[in-house]
Amino acid sequence: MSLRKHVRILLLALALPMWLSFFASAFAAPTPKPYAQRDDVRQFIDEMAEKHGFVKKELRMLFAKARFQPNIIKAITPPTEPRAKSWQAYRALFLTPQRIEAGAAFREQHREVLARAVELYGVPEEIIIAIIGVETVYGRNTGGYRVIDALTTLAFDYRPRAAFFRGELEHFLLYARDAGIDTLALKGSYAGAIGIPQFMPGSYRRYAVDHDGDGRQDLSGSFADAIGSVANFLKAHGWEAGQPVAFPVEVQGDNYRKLVDAGIKPTYRCGDFAGFGAVVGVSVGAGAGADADAPCALIDLPTPGEATRYLAGLNNFYVLTRYNRSNLYAAAVMELAQAVKSVYSNK
């Protein structure tokens, strides 16, 4: 190869990183303007000052320190081609031996606090334990994003649910002011959920309780407050003390689809299911069948390539979906609760 060709190849190699950098910057998603300089954020600040008496200068300083988080947008955006839901895959995330054993240990550690929550709110201890187990592995994983960054990013740069997250940002600022906490220090999930039970700020302000009696509601540092607040949330959403959550169902024919299509809110009588080709069985651990007059919904838990599992979801199943609006979530909480209870009951 001639010297001229060697020089030409060397120059091209040296220039390649520069051209790659140019094209990457040219086609990368634009970074939003600093939040404190944006008109929509300034309008929000004006509203907070008018509605709640916030000092505009202080909020401008706060939003000058808030940072856009592209990973949050990526995490919350549904995939272009959604994958089929799989109950077995979802269940496997939470019904692990480690999480079950850790739930039994959590119960032993917080036995008295749980007993008091059961007495006050009527929610079984195993359900409270399971929710905390599913949400944060009993407080071990409460999230690493600054809440102000998460909520600001979603409120102003995630258009599909901007109104919801602006409402949550409003609640967060009110909560932080009332509680006297450092708004920039608190961390949570990519969606802005806070603490051991992962309450959104609106739920924090409505349902958090001081269950340890220290004069404040602290869902990040107090397991007692987290336990009491989960129970209070469920009771406030209609939990019926002493009542079952769901019963297994066997289906035949096609008429049962009318029950599935009716949605997850209990609107049919359990006694009417048989007329649709859906036979209600005996609840796990309950030893009895459903009351024929109890309101029920037919819940499907599909797994691609396998037979779909069906449940008769009663009112308490529906209440679990108020915590997280997913049939799979409610079913996982129910099964984890049963598994944890089985471990500590047999010790």
Catalytic residues: 135
Cα 265 to Cα 277: distance, rounded to the nearest angstrom: 19
Nearest to 278 by CA among 257, 263, 262: 257
Cα 239 to Cα 318: distance, rounded to the nearest angstrom: 9
Nearest to 346 by CA among 276, 290, 285, 279: 285
CA distances from 63 to 5, 59, 133, 174 (A): 55, 6, 34, 15
Residues present in the chain in total: 347
Cα-based angle 249, 253, 259 (whole degrees, multiple of 5): 55
Strands (E) in 106-200, as ranges, are 145-146, 187-188
- Record the tokens describing residue 85, joined without a space: 């839901």
161 φ, ψ to 5°?
Answer: -130, 30
Question: What's 256's DSSP letter?
Answer: T
Residue pair 90/333 in contact by the 8 Å Cβ criterion: no
- Record the tokens describing residue 12, joined without a space: 């091209």
Q: Which residue has the tokens 């096609």?
A: 254
Residue pair 230/207 in contact by the 8 Å Cβ criterion: no
CA distances from 301 to 132, 244, 266, 307, 324 (A): 22, 19, 16, 9, 16
Nearest to 298 by CA among 232, 247, 253: 247
